Homo-oligomer: A and B are copies of this chain.
Amino acid sequence: MADKTIPYKIYLEESELPKQWYNVRADMKNKPAPLLDPKTGKPITAEALSEVFCEELVKQELDDTTPYFDIPQPILDFYKMYRPAPLVRAYCLEEKLQTPAKIYYKFEGNNTSGSHKLNSAIAQAYYAKEQGLKGVTTETGAGQWGTALSMACAYLGLDCQVYMVKCSYEQKPFRREVMRTYGASVTPSPSELTAIGRQILKEHPGTTGSLGCAISEAVEAATTQEGYRYVLGSVLTQVLLHQTVIGLETKTAMDKYGIKPDIIIGCAGGGSNLGGLISPFMGEKLRGEADYRFIAVEPASCPSLTRGKYVYDYCDTGRVCPLAKMYTLGSGFIPSSTHSGGLRYHGMSSVLSQLYDDGLMEARSVEQTSVFAAAQEFARVEGILPAPESSHAIRVAIDEALKCKETGEEKTILFGLTGTGYFDMFAYQKFNDGLMGDYIPTDEEIARGLANLPQV
């Protein structure tokens, strides 16, 4: 039984909140490979990127040497609306598991977007506003990013156009209404609104969509409308940079109480939440100041790190975005319609891919039903109904805590609880009714996805 000298929840004071984002690339010996221009096959220029992205964000994307970026004051002010996020000691879960492990989670779900996505949404919307744009376009999977962006745009008075992966659009009609309440327009993807959408619908009639495909549509919409740019909720290095606010807060809170995690766990779709959580800790590891185990958890249905290849690939199904070197299942890989829409991406952040390839991070894939079982167990003792995506991290955190129970080790486990599952009740209903299955791609399906990689 834990002695509970550490509070259940650690909230930093406003004065302790991070005032800079941390750029982990500055401390990496092996830098992530540069993005390539799909037209030339050469490292992309800031100029070319600026046709799609805001200028300030392009700078952040390409800069792999500056260790810290100041967070502009208006973004700091917005952060204060929903941050600090609590670092929670999972006393009840520990007791339920009867484990000697100490479990902590950083909870990012205490805001209306329901996840950590708001951290980057406000940053990207702010730079778009500063550049004098009319609006932004984007894609959303589970709907968390779209909701976050619509909130940020409503706050700043920017137009917001969201392409929502069709299976999520159908599974989560309420997400659409949250976005509409914040003034955004929402289109199910693939759609008839874009050339690439029409093409995908022709080639794959009845497809439930994918993040890669929705990205292509949003990019097309941004580049064909005057005064618009595209913004992205994950994968990109700029997003990972903004999300370091998660890890920086976590580290400050842990340092304040003299806590040192042994294992740090996060779910990984595009990688921004995991990257944001681990960056400051990884920085210490890279600089030789401390050692940690990092575990990326991905769905068995979309296993880019554990079954993909580390190569240059397109970031989107439509092949209009720059090429990134990353662990990928191939941009043509369309994952099965599972209930973790936010993790259905064929690739992985190039920063995390490089760290994984360098052996600095581990990866594990888990199956859907075991993820929901972990979610339910967690909800009943810790009170929070987690997002299916976040529950991937819960699954592995519980597994690691149970290992400690066997070995008697008092390890300190930290995981990222990225969001809540309030808009995922169809999925929970399926689980409650015992109707949920597991979808694991065959070797043939994986090979098929990897058959059409670009020649670089």
| Known contacts A7-B14, A14-B7, A425-B174; A379 and B181 CB within 8 A of each other | yes
Q: Which residues from B are CB-within-8-Å of A432?
A: 177, 180-181
| Known contacts A181-B428, A432-B177; A8 and B379 CB within 8 A of each other | no
Q: Which residues from B are CB-within-8-Å of A38?
A: none
Main secondary structure of the interface of A (DSSP, over half): helix
| Known contacts A183-B380, A422-B422, A423-B422; A385 and B9 CB within 8 A of each other | no
The answer to the question of A112 belonging to the interface, with a C-beta cut-off of 8 Å to chain B, is yes
The answer to the question of A127 belonging to the interface, with a C-beta cut-off of 8 Å to chain B, is no
A283 CB to closest chain B CB, in angstroms? 28
Q: Are B420 and A112 in contact (CB under 8 A)?
A: yes
Q: Are B11 and A383 in contact (CB under 8 A)?
A: no
Q: Which residues from B are CB-within-8-Å of A384?
A: 111-112
Q: Which residues from B are CB-within-8-Å of A428?
A: 177-178, 180-181
Q: Which of B376, B385, B429, B431 contacts A112 (CB 8 A)?
A: B385
| Assembled-state Cα–Cα distance A432/B177 (Å) | 8
Q: Are B80 and A380 in contact (CB under 8 A)?
A: no
Q: Are A383 and B82 in contact (CB under 8 A)?
A: yes
Q: Are B181 and A385 in contact (CB under 8 A)?
A: yes
A169-187 residues at the B interface, CB under 8 angstroms: 173-174, 177-178, 180-183
Q: Which residues from B are CB-within-8-Å of A7?
A: 13-14, 80
**Who on chain B is nearest to A107 by CB?**
B110
The answer to the question of A320 belonging to the interface, with a C-beta cut-off of 8 Å to chain B, is no
- A residues engaging B (CB < 8 A)? 7-9, 11, 13-14, 77, 80-82, 91-92, 110-112, 114, 151, 154-155, 173-174, 177-178, 180-183, 376, 379-385, 420, 422-423, 425-426, 428-429, 431-432
